A and B are shown apart, each in its own frame.
Chain A
Amino acid sequence: KAGVTQTPRYLIKTRGQQVTLSCSPISGHRSVSWYQQTPGQGLQFLFEYFSETQRNKGNFPGRFSGRQFSNSRSEMNVSTLELGDSALYLCASSFSGAFFEKNYGYTFGSGTRLTVV
């Protein structure tokens, strides 16, 4: 069974540009969530999507956005990149239901390492 696939693995962008990251969850998982990891702030929740709907968003500016497609694949976008956006972006999938069904844990992808110069 394939794991969570994130592309690309590495990215270098210039300040002011925008970037799109992709995540394909485990087959059958409908929930995809995104996390940002930096040395200073650690691992922080960005947002979570379920059945093409954003169910919750972390405390990040509006430059961070995402979406989910009907096949559960998700993309996140960061516009007007800043140096502080340099981070490892991790995607996780879980078998989560629509109405507080039991979550059996999260599986993470390998991450996308974004460097903003």
Chain B
Amino acid sequence: GIQVEQSPPDLILQEGANSTLRCNFSDSVNNLQWFHQNPWGQLINLFYIPSGTKQNGRLSATTVATERYSLLYISSSQTTDSGVYFCAVDAPITQGGSEKLVFGKGTKLTVNP
């Protein structure tokens, strides 16, 4: 099945720094999403980005589907950005017409004041 690899696994920043998180995937995908998991466990949808570039405030994301990778940029990081960031791809399933999300292992971001 499709493989999703995220890097780096851990990232420690000082408040105000910028960072780039990477997601590589092994096969063609229909969709790609970036999530932030908060300390209470909820997955917050950051971007739905199967291709192209999107921006939302201090966050932006770029997916180059032909080269099978996506990048999440965080600028001017804040302590509230801490948490785990997941990349997930929507992998087609041959039987039943259903798709499912395949997740990477995540990048744990710690932003220190």
- Chain A residues within CB distance 8 Å of chain B: 31, 33, 35, 37, 42-43, 45, 48, 50, 55-56, 58, 88, 90, 92, 96, 98-100, 103-111, 113
Contact = CB atoms under 8 A, between A and B. Distances in A.
Given A43-B103, A45-B100, A103 B93 contact: no
Overall SS of chain B's interface: strand
B42 A92 contact: no
B100 A56 contact: yes
B33 interface: yes
Contacts of B98: 31, 48, 50, 55-56, 96
14 contacts: A42-B103, A42-B106, A43-B86, A43-B88, A55-B96, A55-B98, A58-B100, A92-B101, A99-B97, A103-B99, A105-B45, A107-B45, A108-B42, A113-B41
Nearest to A102: B30
Interface of B: 30-31, 33, 35, 40-45, 48, 86, 88, 90, 93, 95-103, 105-106
Which 9 interchain pairs have the tightest Cβ spacing?
A: A55-B98, A105-B48, A56-B98, A43-B103, A108-B43, A55-B96, A45-B100, A110-B42, A111-B41
B29 to A, nearest CB: 11
A108 B35 contact: yes
A113 B105 CA distance: 19
Contacts of A45: 100-102
Contacts of B31: 103, 105
A96 B103 CA distance: 19
B88 to A, nearest CB: 8
Contacts of B45: 105-108
